[in-house]
Amino acid sequence: MNFFILFFRFLHPITYGEYPMTMQSLVGHRLPKFSPAESEMLKGSLDFLGINYYTSNYATTYASAVNTLELSWALDGRLNLTTEKDGVNIGQPAMSLSLDIQGYTPLNWLYICPWGIKKHMLYIKEHYNNPTIYITENGLATANNGSVPVKEDLNDTLRITYHRGHLYYLSKAIKEGVNVKGYFAWSFLDDFEWDAGFTFRFGLGYVDYKNGLKRYPKHSTYWFKKFL
């Protein structure tokens, strides 16, 4: 979820009781209106902020005019999102490390960018009254292609690197005053992903779908046990 949707569409109203002027200007009459009473009820109404963070993107504004016949919530931000700047990726692409049998992977959106989580946290602190924050999802997936031996899948050193990096930058954000109170790794076990079924393996625990759903701890499980 990009900044425009998360912060302008949701966090801004429940912090300040209204949509930001930038969003009002871009969305116009399609944006719902709050009554004065509704605005007061919304203002400061959040108990905590839960954020699912996996990766980051660079953003630039549209270079050309927007087609008013194709307006949608996904285009309202007038943003071009990219994972590359000056020919350099924003982070290591997870997709190159988890190809499936056909050489295709559904992970082409996931770049390993732990420093991005700190930037998100500091932005929230500076612009939204430093609310209580829980990282409700953070994790790395590999492709479940059926051709990798179980023992090899258990040796998930990249997942350890991913979580270590994000926890490091979260720690730095906390030291700079961000009110982060919790961190949830996604996920405890390999699971069914809503948009990809069983083709991803996000879990710290391995689920053997071909052998009675037996579970095995991956190396990342032991790393978290030691870390905690």
Question: Does residue 69 form part of some domain?
Answer: no
pLDDT at 189: 97
pLDDT of residue 193: 86
In whole angstroms, what is the distance from residue 204 CA to residue 223 CA?
10
Instruction: Note down the domain range covering 179.
Output: 47-57+90-227
Cα torsion angle, 49, 83, 171, 175, sign: negative
Q: Do the domain assignments include residue 38?
A: yes
Please indicate, yes or no, whether residues 205 and 136 belong to a single structural domain of this protein.
yes
Catalytic residue check, 137: yes
| 23/100 same-domain check | no
| 163 occurs within a structural domain | yes
Q: What is the structure's pLDDT at 195?
A: 76
- The verdict on residue 169 lying in a domain is yes
Task: Identify the pLDDT of residue 78.
Answer: 73
pLDDT given for residue 89 in this prediction: 84
Domain check: are 18 and 53 in the same one? Answer: no
Taking alpha carbons only, the member of 8, 108, 126 closest to residue 54 is 108
Does 223 share its domain with 190? yes
Determine the pLDDT at residue 120: 94
Mean pLDDT by 10 residues, the chain (228 residues): 70 94 84 94 96 88 64 70 84 63 58 95 95 97 82 92 97 98 96 86 95 96 96
Indicate the number of domains in the chain: 2
d(CA 107, CA 96): 9
Phi, psi (deg, nearest 5) at residue 118: -65, -40
CA angle 17, 22, 23 (to 5 degrees): 65
Q: Assess whether 32 and 53 both reside in one domain.
A: no
118 and 166, same domain (yes or no): yes
Of residues 38, 40, 126, 137, which has the active-site annotation? Answer: 137
Instruction: For residues 34 and 124, state if they share a domain.
Output: no
pLDDT for 74 equals: 64
- 41 plus 140 within the same structural domain: no
Is there a domain that residue 118 lies in? yes
Q: How far is CA 145 from CA 1, 54, 100, in A?
A: 27, 22, 5
Q: Is residue 121 part of a domain?
A: yes
Residue 81 domain-assigned? no
Q: Do 51 and 39 reside in the same domain of the chain?
A: no
User: What does the alpha-carbon distance between residue 190 and residue 168 come to, in Å, rounded to a whole number?
Assistant: 24
* Residue 62 within a domain: no
Residues 175 and 203 in one domain: yes
Same domain? For 109 and 121 the reply is yes
Please tell me whether residues 34 and 94 are part of one structural domain.
no
